[in-house]
Amino acid sequence: MKIATENQDKGFLPDGRHLVEITGIEEGTSEHQNVPFFAARMESADGFVSQRFYNSPAGHPIILSLYAAVGIQPHDGKDLDTKELIGKHLSVEVSDHNYTDPTTGNERSIRQATGFRAA
């Protein structure tokens, strides 16, 4: 096996508040409850964090706070397009979040972005 050493990916952003740019969006469905989500990759020169946003009633306020932080306001009758987020800048708080894995009962930790604010 050969392992390429050029073009290595950035590491995770450290804990704290960071100014980031949304550089990519991936869409999917949650593994356990089949809830649609999009994952936004947020980067700065110091690293990156990828944050999932679930398209559910509980997730909508969080999604709307992300859009507000990048200056996109929803309009009645018009769907929000996740592709509009690419290239937008905002401020996020990065930290670890601990949770219990529903399939194994084991404690897990993920890196997350919260506290969305305008850049």
C-alpha dihedral sign at 119, 45, 93, 21: positive
CATH topology of domain 16-73+81-118: OB fold (Dihydrolipoamide Acetyltransferase, E2P) (2.40.50)
Instruction: Please state the pTM of the whole predicted model.
Output: 0.86
CA dist., res. 63 & res. 69, Å (int): 10
7-66 pLDDT, tens digit each: 557 899 999 999 999 999 999 999 888 999 999 999 999 999 999 999 999 999 999 999
Task: Report domain extents, the chain.
Answer: 16-73+81-118
Indicate whether 105 pLDDT > 80. yes
Two tokens, residue 35: 């809830």
